[in-house]
Structure 1
Amino acid sequence: MRGVALGGTASGVGKTVATLATLRALDAAGYDPRSAKAGPDFIDPSHHAAVTGRPSRTLDPWLEGEDGLRRNYWRGADGDDEVCVVEGMMGLYDGDAASTAAVAAALDLPVVLVVDASAGMESVAATALGFREYAARTDADPDVAGVLAQQAHGGRHEAGIREALPDELAYLGRVPPDDALELPERHLGLHGGREVTVPEDALDAAAETVRAERLVDLARTPPRPESPEPARPARDRTVAVARDDVFRFIYPATVERLRERAEVTTFAPTAGDDLPECDGVYLPGGYPELHAADLAASPALTALADRAAEGLPVFGECGGLMALARSLTTADGDEHTMAGVLPADVEMSERYRALDHVELRAREGTLTAAAGDALRGHEFHYSECDPDRDARFAFEVVRGDGIDGERDGLTEYRTLGTYAHVHPESGAFDEFVDAL
């Protein structure tokens, strides 16, 4: 499966819209477009999936390791004429070991640089050449091979950009200025792809100005992983996964891994679903604060509290942690009763409280790690969790903020709630299934 990485000169340069236009252009040219996202983001991949109709992979060296990253990339391949577009995060070189440059280098993918061309022509070429020359100064040393001009008009504007580019930088087209291509934002980033989509006619128009055939010529096939995914046997167990407007932050690879190890059933707490018969429950992250009243009224939350007290294994990440707490107070000051499994109260803030890759070390054996094991993930939340003084924590924080700066992983009965989102390549979900 050939691929390219779309890296930006900075955050907010329009990488997501450029990625969507590129995916649509590849489809129109007769190729089978696939998508992925550098970094731990859940939201941008939802927009990719809305365009391609397929899950978008998450590629993050910190979460997965280099071999895990390659395994995850190749999980998305299953046919002919596939071309994968990997949307970068932030600026090309931002993010240390998990940067877009690091992802592109690990996969040996050429980088197409997305440059804001709204107020420049020759300067677009100068910017791109600077990014290309800077690569040699980095450990990743990515191959910056082309330019996609964002917010560029046709005619003289486009011609000026194209003619100024040196031979070593291919011109891959442009995304025209169009208010219809703007994606609205809120806390935690863009609105999700299930809520807000780019109008079809605007996306089609943008795709017509992307040079799909030239991009395919540029694309390369990444190396296969050096080691196979560690094998663990399937178990005769059922995992119930919450999936609705609240619990929406889940990696495709997580569902895949759970289905390889156990039966998976889904339920929608805010739609009135009750908790299904199961041997364990996974509550992904999401937006409890936007649907707190519906969540508080859910029969599934009441059943979950009862079953957790009986010893049912329950794993909640971020939004899942919030749902498992006693109460959730929104930014408007409204307090809602949650499941009450974990001895803590959660309150939303107007600004984010944590944003980082994290590393946790298990203080004791828990649902997702053996005692002493390190677990990597990421955190991004606008809430503060206030646990009881005698609350028990499963993890020490090696990097990141966790719940109180030093600890994460509130635990009660056989329930674990953490602010860290983890990827299945961490082994956390294998440990979870084995604990059922």
Structure 2
Amino acid sequence: MAEVPGLLVSAPSSGTGKTTVMLGLLRALAEEGLAVQPFKSGPDYIDPAFHRAASGRASFNLDGWAMGPHLWQAIAAQAAGADICVAEGSMGLYDGVATRGQQGFGSSAETARAMGWPVVLVLDVGGQAQSAAATALGFRQYMPDLPFAGVILNRVASPRHERLTRLGMERAGLPVLGVLPRRGDLTLPERHLGLIQAVEHPDLEAAIAGYAAFLREHVDLAALRTAAAGGPVPGAAPALPRPPAQRIALAQDAAFSFTYPHLLEGWRAAGAEVLPFSPLADEPPAAGADLVWLPGGYPELHAGRLAAADTFRAGLRRHAETKPIHGECGGYMALGAGLIDKGGTRHEMAGLLGLVTSYETRKFHLGYRRAVLRAPMPGFDAGAALRGHEFHYSTILEQPDPPLAEVADADGAPVAETGSRRGQVTGTFFHLISAEEPSAPRAQAQEEARIHTKVRL
């Protein structure tokens, strides 16, 4: 088993600047001639595209709640051939859910500990000086066996501010790996689901180059490389997820882009042919496709164009006459009868499901999901237990079709967004991450048996 040293970039909370640090670090290390393998800890389908743009290598998610050990090993093996791994945490370092999942609670700290990657803690020190060391020390000591590289101080206002903050870190015995002066231009554009998509950034390459130059000037890259550690790469890892069909027409544009990279990598590695098409360009899915897959994205921002895309919608309807279609979140909404936009205007969608959703009547839906299928969906039989994540603001107004699954949150509480099915068309509001591995807890296996019996009755 080879080893590729790595680091995990995290922070006490969201909004501290860890994504810009991550992108600058990826590019700066790549410019030093290193093959840099990026990862994302936790459920996120936006950041990996930015990572790829910065590093030149596909980025993959590692998720202790949603992934079993076999999938984890298969994803870790994607670091083969790299010189260093750099992972980005999600939310705060220790943030996770209350109930254990397939391997853990989904925190970035668990990912760092499992992979042996020392944590680089990005601290927003605005409005404080020596007190920042108390925060950092608490994060260092909360999980004593967590490997810890040091801190990067962000949004430092002046040389005096830096000197005082450094004094606190020295007293706490915490290495300072970098000091980033406050700059208002080092931010990425955002919208209601977080960052805009990488493909939408007006000048992503220039932004990443700027982040890299900023980090080279203010961060000790040599010290970071020295601190990198761990990173066992399995020599004969299990396979990534198998494709749900041989020829898959995949919607791919600014309205539909939220697909987890390990799924696409697994499909292609197993020999499936992925056939991209753009609904926004009024393109139909490939006529010879075995399956149409509509991922999540931002259909609510493009509802008028989708409603006017007659060729796209006609192609979906032709395909659904004989072959399956599946939609996730935004793709699910596009398969429905109607979508009401922010201004209250209803737009007709494909009409392959009876679903009517509203972005005008906004409600926040966020969290892990565990689904036990009541009927088959592409790639999975009825009774299969799936793990995923839901993140959107749309509200269901009508859902007349039979539910696709029984869905619960991370703590086992029932979730109303069950997905639905009609003929060979299925859809869910959760984004698929993985099928549950056989090592699932006994209580979950018993729950599956109960649901299977209910379905048969």
Tell me, yes or no, whether TM beats 0.5. yes
Partner Cα separation in structure 2 for residue 78 and residue 426 of structure 1:
29
Q: Answer yes or no: is the 8 Å Cα contact 1:352–1:380 preserved in 2.
A: no
Matched, 1:415 2:419: no
Q: Decide which of 115, 121, 128 is 1:120's aligned counterpart.
A: 128
Matched, 1:194 2:199: yes
Q: Answer yes or no: is the 8 Å Cα contact 1:313–1:415 preserved in 2.
A: yes
What is the CA-CA distance between 1:56 and the residue it aligns to? Answer: 1.8
Q: CA RMSD in A?
A: 2.6
Q: Decide which of 27, 45, 48 is 2:48's aligned counterpart.
A: 45
Aligned equivalent of 1:433: none
Partner Cα separation in structure 1 for residue 34 and residue 130 of structure 2:
32
Aligned equivalent of 1:148: 152
Aligned equivalent of 1:241: 250
Deviations 1:262-295 (A, max 9, x none): 2111111111322212111111100001111221
Q: Which stretch of structure 1 is more off in the superposition, 331-340 or 222-231?
A: 222-231
Q: Which stretch of structure 1 is more off in the superposition, 347-356 or 370-379?
A: 347-356
Aligned equivalent of 1:89: 90
Aligned equivalent of 1:179: 184
Partner Cα separation in structure 2 for residue 40 and residue 73 of structure 1:
16
Q: Answer yes or no: is the 8 Å Cα contact 2:386–2:436 preserved in 1.
A: yes
What is the CA-CA distance between 1:205 and the residue it aligns to? Answer: 2.3
What is the CA-CA distance between 1:110 and the residue it aligns to? Answer: 0.8
Partner Cα separation in structure 2 for residue 205 and residue 230 of structure 1:
39
The correspondence of residues 306-345 of structure 1 with structure 2, limited to 5 A, is: 306-308=318-320, 310-345=321-356
Partner Cα separation in structure 1 for residue 387 and residue 245 of structure 2:
28
Partner Cα separation in structure 1 for residue 241 and residue 200 of structure 2:
37
Change (3 A) 1:393 1:370: same
Change (3 A) 1:78 1:208: same
Change (3 A) 1:223 1:205: closer
Change (3 A) 1:24 1:227: closer
Q: Answer yes or no: is the 8 Å Cα contact 2:241–2:262 preserved in 1.
A: no
Partner Cα separation in structure 2 for residue 231 and residue 338 of structure 1:
33
Aligned equivalent of 2:62: 59
Q: Answer yes or no: is the 8 Å Cα contact 1:317–1:417 preserved in 2.
A: yes
Change (3 A) 1:207 1:289: farther
Q: Answer yes or no: is the 8 Å Cα contact 1:241–1:282 preserved in 2.
A: yes
Matched, 1:386 2:397: yes
Partner Cα separation in structure 2 for residue 265 and residue 350 of structure 1:
34
Partner Cα separation in structure 1 for residue 133 and residue 411 of structure 2:
40
Gaps of 5+ in 1: 428-436
Question: Which letter maps to 2:75?
Answer: N
Aligned equivalent of 2:313: 301
What is the CA-CA distance between 1:67 and the residue it aligns to? Answer: 4.0
Question: Which letter maps to 1:85?
Answer: V
Partner Cα separation in structure 2 for residue 365 and residue 322 of structure 1:
19
Deviating beyond 6 angstroms after TM superposition, the runs of 4 or more aligned structure 1 residues are 231-236
Matched, 1:213 2:216: no
What is the CA-CA distance between 1:296 and the residue it aligns to? Answer: 1.6
Corresponding residue SS for 1:64: coil
Q: Answer yes or no: is the 8 Å Cα contact 2:296–2:431 preserved in 1.
A: yes
Question: Which letter maps to 2:188?
Answer: L
Partner Cα separation in structure 2 for residue 315 and residue 202 of structure 1:
38
What is the CA-CA distance between 1:219 and the residue it aligns to? Answer: 0.8
Question: Which letter maps to 2:176?
Answer: Y
Gaps of 5+ in 2: 98-104, 438-457
Q: Which stretch of structure 1 is more off in the superposition, 52-61 or 352-361?
A: 52-61
Q: Decide which of 1, 13, 29 is 1:10's aligned counterpart.
A: 13
Partner Cα separation in structure 2 for residue 231 and residue 347 of structure 1:
35
Aligned equivalent of 1:164: 168
Instruction: Give aligned pairs, total.
Output: 418
Deviations 1:349-395 (A, max 9, x none): 46443100010112233324323221110000111223444x21120
Matched, 1:371 2:394: no
- State the percentage of identical aligned residues: 38
Deviations 1:12-55 (A, max 9, x none): 11111121222233234332323221111122222222322332
Please, what TM-score do these two structures have when normalized by structure 1? Answer: 0.88
Deviations 1:386-406 (A, max 9, x none): 3444x211201132699x934
Q: Decide which of 198, 208, 222 is 2:231's aligned counterpart.
A: 222
Partner Cα separation in structure 1 for residue 224 and residue 265 of structure 2:
30
Partner Cα separation in structure 2 for residue 22 and residue 152 of structure 1:
18
Please, what TM-score do these two structures have when normalized by structure 2? Answer: 0.84
Partner Cα separation in structure 2 for residue 40 and residue 360 of structure 1:
16
Partner Cα separation in structure 2 for residue 22 and residue 264 of structure 1:
31
Corresponding residue SS for 2:404: strand
Question: Which letter maps to 1:173?
Answer: G
Aligned equivalent of 1:290: 301
